Amino acid sequence: MLQAVLFDMDGTLVDTEPYWIAAEYRLVESFGGTWTDEHAHALVGNALITSAEYLREHGGVALPAEEIVERLLDEVVRATREAVPWRPGAVELLAELGSRGVPCALVTMSYDRLARVVLEQLPARTFGALVTGDQVADGKPHPEAYLTAAARLDVDPRYCVAIEDSPTGVASAEAAGCTVIAVPHNVPIDPAPGRRLVASLRDLSTDTLAAMISEQPQRLRP
């Protein structure tokens, strides 16, 4: 029944949000603007180009959006190379899914060059597909990223579990037809029918993920 597990990256598998927030503060302050944690949390899960436009509008960063993205990425890639901040239970859950033969995909709005830094710290073939923000036309909350990941794995998204940490990501995965497990971290996620909230990836296993699919027969209709 469980065909694949689709993982968000920032905030879900790795706690890189503090890196992003620190980079935002430094960039805004370099242009004489003022930034707040409220602004920073409003960007969690967004497409990077969307976040860049927000920084232009609310932080006074007078740069093209594409350059804002690249400057932020430079800082976050540098910090992640120094230390990959794994979320509790992330590496263990990925290893268990691999040992059980469950395909996995990484579905992130970060760009390929940051995702590769994280993938370098994992065994080869941990993920059978990678979808990054610079590979899609429409970022989360649009379903394109999750639909693309399912297509690359050659699976039906209705038989996939997506694991997310933000309302934006949850909306994307649910719009794609996935069953969603939310692991709130930096921003709250509201309960909803068919959605499971857990405190940690340590609370999950292959069997619990498979059970989530079997409990939602309405998703499995042709």
Rounded to 5°, angle at Cα 197 from 173 and 122: 65
Pair 102, 37 in one domain: no
| CA 103 vs CA 176, 188, 220: distances in Å | 18, 28, 19
- Whether 174 and 214 share a structural domain: yes
Check if 8 is active-site: yes
Please tell me the predicted confidence (pLDDT) of residue 181.
97
Integer angstrom CA distances of residue 58 from 68, 115, 133, 163, 186: 13, 27, 22, 30, 20
For the chain, the domain total comes to 2
If asked whether residues 103 and 74 sit together in one domain, one would say no
* Same domain flag for 134 and 52: no
What is residue 222's predicted lDDT score, i.e. its pLDDT? 43
**Residue 217 in this model has a pLDDT that exceeds 90:** no
Look at residue 45 in the predicted model and tell me its pLDDT: 86
Question: Are 212 and 103 in the same domain?
Answer: yes
List 8, 10, 15, 165, catalytic entry: 8
Does residue 201 sit in the same domain as residue 136? Answer: yes
Q: Looking at the structure, do residues 159 and 118 belong to the same domain, yes or no?
A: yes
Contacts of 26 (CB under 8 A, 6+ apart): 75
Containing structural domain, residue 68: 17-82
Question: Does 51 lie in the same domain as 153?
Answer: no
In this prediction, residue 221 carries a pLDDT of 46
Are 215 and 106 within one domain? yes
The 10s digit of each residue's pLDDT in 29-63 is 999 999 999 999 999 989 999 999 999 999 999 99
Q: State how far the Cα of 130 lies from the Cα of 97, in Å rounded to an integer.
A: 16
Q: What is the pLDDT of residue 146?
A: 98
- Whole-model pTM: value is 0.90
CATH number, domain of 154, equals 3.40.50.1000
Residue 219 has pLDDT above 70, yes or no: no
Same domain, 69 and 37: yes
Which of 67, 82, 97 is the C-terminal boundary of a domain? 82
The model's pLDDT over 65-115, given as tens digits with 9 standing for 90+, comes to 999 999 999 999 999 999 999 999 999 999 999 999 999 999 999 999 999
Question: Are 62 and 105 found together in one domain?
Answer: no
Angle CA 175–179–183, to nearest 5: 100
H helices within the chain, ranges in order? 17-30, 37-42, 48-59, 65-82, 90-99, 112-119, 144-153, 167-175, 206-214
Q: What backbone phi and psi angles, to 5 degrees, belong to 6?
A: -115, 120
Kindly report the number of other CB atoms within 10 A of residue 22's CB atom: 14
8 and 32 both lie in a single domain:
no
Note the pLDDT of residue 111.
95
Distance in angstroms (rounded) separating the CA atoms of residues 54 and 43: 8
Encoding tokens for residue 106? Answer: 């990484």
- 212 and 197 Cβ atoms separated by less than 8 Å: no
Domain boundary among 82, 108, 137: 82
Condensed to tens digits (0 to 9), the pLDDT of residues 148-206 reads 999 999 999 999 999 999 999 999 999 999 999 999 988 999 999 889 999 999 999 99
Averaged pLDDT for residues 108-137: 96
